[in-house]
């Protein structure tokens, strides 16, 4: 065709132009990316609600000019194992998730983490954050982790329908009232306490009794100070007895049950109460139940009951790469920003770490939590905050054995003393 060569020529020119444009666009993008702080973050937030929550952090980071590279690995211990192995292997991520606990203490000791002192001092973390959190992220005067949220471990959830059926008019506000409510539920033919028979869930029940029955002082003496006298005391013995007493209120099929299947029992009205962390809200929400309407939440069994805090932090593996250090500092400041805190906690079911946030957007139970958080005297950490993973695990072994076998309370007391003595 006569027009063909011309057409071909034009097509070629067009193609060349396009290529040139895209090449320059690529280099522009590459240049932009090279200057934007790139953060690879290892975490274990993989389920629906958790994913949505971490996306908020990612978006906030991107809005601040950074590039978020997501490496999600389900299962806390697997995720942490990968983090440790990558640090050892010389290929560390920019940031990695840990729990607010002593899990990363050894890594700090080995000098494998960068600190975020500038951000911490600039925002006065000592004043802004609760003391249990500061106690694990601040080592030797340096701040090695940025906290993301606070979960409360021992909320008492109850099904309004079950309470109505059992004739329980008001929420139990003391330990005797709590057991009375359990008895009423049992009499009404409802499973009083929905429980999943896994070691960590049994530890939650124990912590609830220690905090509510034993009180803040005993709690700290046993778990933080590991005082043998406190562990051998009659007060602690009572706590253990109350813990074992709870077993009479769970159904025989509880061993091995996942926590969300126990929450499902509340949702369907088959069970009355569950002691579980505030992540349980996700299950209620997924079943379209609303706080104070179909279910209720009790923070503690006394007006000043301790608020047992756990949560998640990001640590920053050591690197001298200037770009990575910049990314780490940017991430730290983004995470603690009030907006990020609110957006993340709303989807995660937790409360923000800072008390100066606008709580009006949070749901009813979270608002309760935020209000309690303003009272610093009620701040307490979960056992992981005070014990090393090994001590915590050894104590868990004793608690679950005591729950499941006919171990005597004296033997349990002795074994816990042994577990906490190392």
Partner 1 sequence: MRAATPYAALLPMALTVIVAYLGTMLWTLRTSFTASRTFPSDKFIGITQYTRLFDNERWMLSLHNLAVYGLLFILACLVIGFLLAVFIDQNVSGEGVLRTVFLYPYAMSFVATGLVWQWLLTPGTGIDGSIAALGFPDFVFDWIVDQDLAIYTIVIATVWQSAGLVMALMLAGLRGIDADIWKAARLDGIPAWRVYVSIILPMLWPTVATVFLLLATSVVKLYDAVVAMTQGGPGTASEVPAKFIMDHLFLRSNIGLASAGAIMLLVPVLALLAPYAYARSRRNRERGHA
Partner 2 sequence: MMAQTTLTPPLVHAPVAVLARRRRFTPARIGIYVFLFGAALFFLLPLYVMLVTSLKGMDEIRAGSILALPVEWTIEPWRQAWSQVCTGASCEGIRGGFWNSVAITVPSTILPILIGAINGYALSFWRPRGANLLFGVLLAGAFIPVQVMIYPLVRLLAGAGIFGSLPAIVLVHLVFGMPVMTLLFRNYYASLPQELFHAARIDGGGFWRIFLHVVLPLSVPIIVVAAIMQVTGVWNDYILGLVFAGRDNLPMTVQLNNVINTTTGTRLYNVNMAATILTALVPLALYFFSGRWFVRGIAAGAVKG
By CB under 8 A, residue 293 contacts partner 1: no
Select the residue interacting with partner 1 from 56, 97, 310, 400 (CB under 8 A). Answer: 400
Beta bridge partners of 42: 71, 96
Helices marked H in 158-255: 160-166, 175-187, 199-209, 215-219, 228-231, 234-245
Contact of residue 304 among partner 1, partner 2, none (CB under 5-8 Å per partner type): none
Q: How far is the CB of 363 from partner 2 (least distance, A)?
A: 16
Q: How far is the CB of 267 from partner 2 (least distance, A)?
A: 7
Contact of residue 86 among partner 2, partner 1, none (CB under 5-8 Å per partner type): partner 2
By CB under 8 A, residue 90 contacts partner 1: no
By CB under 8 A, residue 401 contacts partner 1: yes
Contact of residue 281 among partner 2, partner 1, none (CB under 5-8 Å per partner type): none
Terminal CA-CA length for the chain: 91
By CB under 8 A, residue 80 contacts partner 1: yes
Query: Could you tell me which stretch among 265-273, 329-337, 351-359, 399-407 binds partner 1 (CB under 8 A)?
Result: 399-407
Q: Return the H-helix or E-strand segment holding 344.
A: helix 338-348
Q: Which of residues 233-262 bind partner 1 (CB under 8 A)?
A: 252-256
Contact of residue 268 among partner 1, partner 2, none (CB under 5-8 Å per partner type): partner 2
Contact of residue 390 among partner 1, partner 2, none (CB under 5-8 Å per partner type): partner 1
Q: Which of 218, 177, 240, 187 is nearest to 395 (CA)?
A: 240
Question: How many residues bind partner 1, per CB under 8 A?
Answer: 30
Q: How far is the CB of 63 from partner 2 (least distance, A)?
A: 15
Q: Which of residues 150-209 bind partner 1 (CB under 8 A)?
A: 197-199
User: Closer CB to partner 2, residue 236 or residue 344?
Assistant: 344
Contact of residue 401 among partner 2, partner 1, none (CB under 5-8 Å per partner type): partner 1
User: Closer CB to partner 1, residue 61 or residue 259?
Assistant: 259
200 C-beta neighbours (distance < 10 Å), count: 14
By CB under 8 A, residue 405 contacts partner 1: yes
Tokens of 346: 């709303």
Q: Give the chain's largest Cα–Cα span.
A: 104
Contact of residue 73 among partner 2, partner 1, none (CB under 5-8 Å per partner type): partner 2
Contact of residue 164 among partner 1, partner 2, none (CB under 5-8 Å per partner type): none
Q: Return the H-helix or E-strand segment holding 18.
A: helix 3-35
Are the C-beta atoms of residues 199 and 396 closer than 8 Å to each other? Answer: yes
Q: CB within 8 A of 305, min separation 6: which ones?
A: 211, 212, 299, 378
Task: Tell me the C-alpha to C-alpha distance, in Å, between residue 23 and each of 10, 30, 33, 36, 369.
Answer: 20, 10, 15, 20, 53
Q: CB within 8 A of 356, min separation 6: which ones?
A: 128, 338
By CB under 8 A, residue 49 contacts partner 1: no
**Rounded to an integer, what distance in angstroms lies between the CA atom of residue 47 and that of residue 49?**
6
Select the residue interacting with partner 1 from 49, 296, 323, 389 (CB under 8 A). Answer: 389
Beta bridge partners of 412: none
Q: How far is the CB of 382 from partner 1 (least distance, A)?
A: 16
């Amino acid at each position: 065709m006569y027009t063909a060569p011309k057409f071909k020529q034009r097509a070629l020119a067009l193609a060349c132009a396009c290529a040139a444009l895209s090449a320059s666009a690529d280099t522009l993008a590459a240049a932009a990316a090279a200057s934007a702080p790139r953060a690879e973050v290892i975490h274990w937030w993989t389920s629906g609600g958790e994913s949505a929550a971490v996306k908020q952090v990612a978006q906030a980071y991107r809005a601040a000019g950074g590039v978020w590279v997501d490496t999600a690995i389900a299962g806390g211990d697997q995720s942490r194992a990968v983090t440790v192995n990558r640090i050892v292997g010389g290929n560390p991520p920019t940031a990695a998730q840990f729990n607010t606990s002593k899990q990363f203490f050894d890594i700090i000791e080995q000098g494998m983490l960068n600190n975020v002192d500038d951000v911490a001092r600039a925002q006065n973390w000592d004043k802004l954050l609760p003391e249990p959190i500061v106690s694990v992220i601040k080592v030797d005067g340096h701040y090695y982790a940025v906290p993301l949220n606070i979960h409360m471990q021992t909320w008492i959830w109850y099904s309004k329908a079950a309470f109505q059926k059992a004739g329980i008019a008001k929420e139990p506000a003391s330990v005797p009232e709590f057991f009375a409510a359990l008895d009423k539920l049992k009499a009404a033919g409802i499973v009083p306490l929905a429980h999943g028979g896994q070691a960590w869930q049994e530890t939650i029940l124990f912590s609830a009794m220690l905090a509510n029955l034993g009180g803040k002082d005993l709690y700290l003496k046993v778990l933080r100070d590991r005082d043998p006298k406190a562990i051998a005391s009659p007060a602690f013995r009572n706590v253990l007895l109350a813990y074992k007493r709870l077993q009479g209120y769970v159904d025989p099929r509880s061993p091995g049950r996942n926590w969300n299947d126990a929450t499902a029992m509340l949702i369907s009205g088959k069970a009355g109460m569950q002691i579980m962390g505030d992540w349980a809200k996700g299950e209620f929400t997924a079943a379209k139940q609303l706080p104070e309407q179909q279910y209720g939440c009790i923070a503690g069994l006394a007006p000043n009951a301790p608020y047992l805090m756990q949560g998640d932090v990001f640590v920053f593996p050591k690197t001298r790469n200037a770009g990575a250090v910049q990314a780490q500092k940017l991430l730290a400041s983004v995470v603690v920003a009030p907006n990020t805190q609110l957006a993340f906690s709303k989807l995660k079911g937790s409360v923000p770490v800072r008390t100066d946030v606008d709580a009006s957007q949070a749901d009813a139970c979270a608002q309760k939590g935020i209000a309690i958080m303003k009272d610093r005297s009620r701040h307490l950490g979960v056992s992981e905050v005070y014990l090393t993973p090994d001590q915590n695990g050894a104590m868990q072994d004793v608690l679950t054995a005591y729950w499941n076998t006919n171990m005597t309370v004296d033997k349990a007391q002795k074994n816990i003393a042994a577990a906490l003595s190392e």
